Amino acid sequence: MTNGAKALLRTLVDAGVTTCFTNPGTSEMHFVAALDTAPEMRAVLTLFEGVATGAADGYARMAGRPAATLLHLGGGLGNGLANLHNARKGKVPIVNIVGDHATHHVQYDTPLQSDIETVARNVSSWVRTSASTAELSRDAVDAIVAASGPPGQVATLILPADVSWGEGAKPAAPPVPATPPVASADLVDTVAKALRGGEPAALLLGGRALREDVLLAADRIAQATGAKLYAEVFPTRLERGAGLPVVERLAYLAEFASAQLAGLKHLVLVDANAPVSFFAYPGKESYLVPDGCQVHELAAPTDDALTSLDALVDVLDAADITPAVQQLSRPEPPSGELTADKVCQAIGALLPEGAIISDEAQTSGLTLPFHTAGAPRHDLLTLTGGAIGQGLPVAVGAAVACPGRPVFALQADGSAMYTIQSLWTMAREQLDVTVVLFNNRSYAILTMELQRVGAESVGPKAASQLDLTQPGLDFVQIGNGMGVPSVRVDDAEQLTAALERAVAESGPHLIEVVVPSIFAPQG
């Protein structure tokens, strides 16, 4: 028997939750005090909860198992909410531990008192306030089971301070891994018939279905049937580059996605939703599946996508097909004056084998998929839920999960500022992250969207809302101020040299590149 906090930590590490991204307060002090009783638990301090939750997201995408977060009451959970939203949309497992006041203290409506569960429900498939020290370890196991899925989910365990400090707890045994369902033989036959019928067809892959094993199966199916392969717009984790099958991502802009999907008669969903427009626009369709196209859900997010696809491979007699894979093919390093496109080209030219890219370059990263298509094998992590401020924290988490692999955070300026505190954790943990900061000194994507939503005229006050020049942000000073060695590069040659140095040296680096926005402001 021990106190709640110690039993909780033992339960977490025994179940494989061995990393915790933290931003604690007073109500979490027993959890903090107990950390030294669980040597297997790595506690990574962050200066802001959005860093903690985004890092937990990045960690789980790469580690394949959840990290915990440690957050302070409703305010702390609120600060972490945007990146929990992204994790939810990306089907990424996270176990939140949110401290709360002691149970007998709640009645007094003290300053930090709020209804934590209401906030948690926005992002969590599973929410529970632990009622007693004796039940805490079991609650933790239930949280881990809920989070692990499939699909991965956000589970939020609210931990009253007295449940944490109370005595009489014991750790709980780790959960048995789930055995997710697979597609029925009938469904596989139906899909096989649809794909063999000679009508235009495509597989849309998302979630867990963009890893090597599933991609290889999908490629065999594509070769056997002529079906196209598409990836969802914002993949949670896409394995790509030399030696891997090629899958085309659906475009962000609905007009382009519609062009990709035009004429399809069958769309087979594998851990993906039927395609829809990211935002709605006056007079434009939200649902992008063409009229007359039949949608087949071969594997729902709750299912085992790989086994389901393998069954389809068997029915199609495609198991012996040699997958068509991407050949190694890099662009030349760019030269001269820098543009966003040339920065992407430089990444393609220099990306090391086994790199992890966290892509929140927004409009500046438009040509990144093109320039890196033939780069050495790498993982691409994108902005799954659209709540910006995810790129830097995800890079933190990916680097913690994969200490041997170089991480590149391709980061837009506007988005960077939501969770800029990530830089400090990179420095503190000496993470091997190279931040490439595309500073176009505007909310460039909104310059485009302002036109697309049909706003007819843009006055000076409106234009000013998208402008980040007054003052311009100096990311070299900001980065150095948080302990990350930071430089600004003025041309492509300097960029190449800075990237090579960042790859060669351990620990984090920040490279600021001032680039023109790809969208000219209207103002």
- What is the C-alpha to C-alpha distance for residues 71 and 382, in angstroms, rounded to an integer? 24
Question: Which residues within the stretch 273-292 sit at the binding site for its own copies (CB under 8 A)?
Answer: 273, 276-280, 282, 286-287
Dihedral sign, CA of 401, 9, 135, 49?
Answer: negative
Residues 6+ apart with CB under 8 A from 519: 363, 444, 445, 447, 448
Q: Which amino acid is at 30?
A: H
**Cβ atoms 204, 305 nearer than 8 A:** no
Judged by CB under 8 A, the stretch of 116-124, 147-155, 203-211, 391-399 that binds its own copies is: 116-124
**Residue from the set 126, 408, 475, 519 that interacts with its own copies by CB under 8 A:** 475
Binding mask 375-414 for its own copies (x = CB under 8 A): ---------xxxx-x------------------------x
Q: Would you say 301 or 334 has its CB closer to its own copies? A: 301
Judged by CB under 8 A, the stretch of 99-107, 175-183, 219-227, 497-505 that binds its own copies is: 99-107
Q: Would you say 338 or 445 has its CB closer to its own copies? A: 445
Q: Would you say 90 or 150 has its CB closer to its own copies? A: 90
Question: Which residues within the stretch 10-69 sit at the binding site for its own copies (CB under 8 A)?
Answer: 22, 24-27, 29-30, 32-37, 43, 45, 47-48, 50
Q: Would you say 279 or 352 has its CB closer to its own copies? A: 279
- State yes or no: residue 131 binds its own copies (CB under 8 A): no
Nearest distance from C-beta of residue 377 to its own copies, angstroms: 27
Strand 201-205: give its sheet, edge to edge.
248-249, 228-231, 201-205, 266-270, 294-299
**Cβ atoms 298, 272 nearer than 8 A:** no
- State yes or no: residue 114 binds its own copies (CB under 8 A): yes
- What is the C-alpha to C-alpha distance for residues 314 and 322, in angstroms, rounded to an integer? 14
- State yes or no: residue 455 binds its own copies (CB under 8 A): yes
- State yes or no: residue 364 binds its own copies (CB under 8 A): no
Residue 174, burial from CB neighbour count under 10 angstroms (0-12, 13-18, 19+): middle
Nearest distance from C-beta of residue 385 to its own copies, angstroms: 5
Nearest distance from C-beta of residue 277 to its own copies, angstroms: 7
**Residue from the set 7, 13, 98, 119 that interacts with its own copies by CB under 8 A:** 119
How many residues bind to its own copies according to rule CB under 8 A? 108
Nearest distance from C-beta of residue 350 to its own copies, angstroms: 27
**Cβ atoms 119, 179 nearer than 8 A:** no
Nearest distance from C-beta of residue 195 to its own copies, angstroms: 25
Nearest distance from C-beta of residue 468 to its own copies, angstroms: 8
- State yes or no: residue 322 binds its own copies (CB under 8 A): no
Roughly how many angstroms between the first and final C-alpha of the chain, as a whole number? 67
- What is the C-alpha to C-alpha distance for residues 217 and 322, in angstroms, rounded to an integer? 10
**Residue from the set 7, 349, 427, 498 that interacts with its own copies by CB under 8 A:** 427
**Cβ atoms 160, 130 nearer than 8 A:** yes
**Cβ atoms 303, 180 nearer than 8 A:** yes
Question: Which residues within the stretch 342-361 sit at the binding site for its own copies (CB under 8 A)?
Answer: none
**Cβ atoms 377, 354 nearer than 8 A:** yes
Question: Which residues within the stretch 73-92 sit at the binding site for its own copies (CB under 8 A)?
Answer: 73-76, 78-82, 85-86, 88-89
Query: Rounded to 5 degrees, what are φ and ψ at 200?
Result: -60, 130
- State yes or no: residue 519 binds its own copies (CB under 8 A): no
Question: Which residues within the stretch 226-245 sit at the binding site for its own copies (CB under 8 A)?
Answer: 233-234
**Residue from the set 138, 314, 481, 506 that interacts with its own copies by CB under 8 A:** 481
- State yes or no: residue 302 binds its own copies (CB under 8 A): no
Query: Rounded to 5 degrees, what are φ and ψ at 300?
Result: -75, 165
- State yes or no: residue 180 binds its own copies (CB under 8 A): no
- State yes or no: residue 470 binds its own copies (CB under 8 A): yes
Helices and strands (DSSP H and E) totals, the chain:
21, 20
Nearest distance from C-beta of residue 220 to its own copies, angstroms: 30
Three-class DSSP labels, 194-234 = HHHCCCCEEEEECHHHHCHHHHHHHHHHHHHHCCEEEECCC
Question: Which residues within the stretch 134-163 sit at the binding site for its own copies (CB under 8 A)?
Answer: 161-162
Beta-bridged to residue 446, according to DSSP, are: none
- Tokens linked to 20: 């915790």
Judged by CB under 8 A, the stretch of 109-117, 133-141, 172-180, 401-409 that binds its own copies is: 109-117
